[in-house]
Amino acid sequence: MRLVLGSDLHGNLPKVPKCDVLILAGDILSETDQELFIENSLAPWLDRASAKYIVATWGNHDHKPFKHWEHQYNLRWNLLIDRGIIIQGLKFYGTPWCLPIGRWAWQAPEYVLKNIYAMIPDDVDILISHCPPYGICDLAKDSSKCGSKELVSRMESLGNLKFLVCGHIHEARGSMGKVLNVACLDEKYLLRPDPWTIIDV
């Protein structure tokens, strides 16, 4: 199964390579008029995407959907907000939350995240989290670690986990063990020449 992975598009919608599953790990929308962007830009882009399945969760910049939690916007995707889906025998689970860093959406302190992450099924194969785990693909340009310690703790107990797909910290793109930070934009919010991360499972 070929997976195309991306996060932190912030309104940029590059062509999607042919794949079985497209995974979007949050911060998908543009900053302005997000409702209009969803209808006029995101919807047709998803319809054109060369993916059999599309799985997504939101991120802290996706503030409009925060007011309409489970609203799917009638889009061609499976929107995972603390829930999962099974595709071709693999269990995917998505969670949009990250630690508070200002007045953004989908934010919660660690003691709340502990309860949120407890809902992740023990047998999940692919975990999609906008937030990275603490100390893994989470280093900001000021050298601060921006990930969640509770996510690390939960991740360590997931025996079937193949990959944790995250983003949030653009400059921390890369991989470490099972963790893949797949931010499509760099720290200057410019689209990378190779925005997508492609893996086979």
Residue 32, pLDDT score: 85
pLDDT less than 50: residues of the chain: none
DSSP 23: E
Q: How many domains does the chain divide into? A: 1
Q: Which domain holds residue 45?
A: 2-200
pLDDT, the chain, mean: 95
Q: What is the CATH number of the domain that holds 89?
A: 3.60.21.10
pTM (two decimals): 0.95
- The confidence score (pLDDT) of residue 109 equals 98
Cβ neighbors of 165 (< 8 A, separation 6 or more) are 5, 7, 23, 25, 126, 127, 128, 129, 180, 182
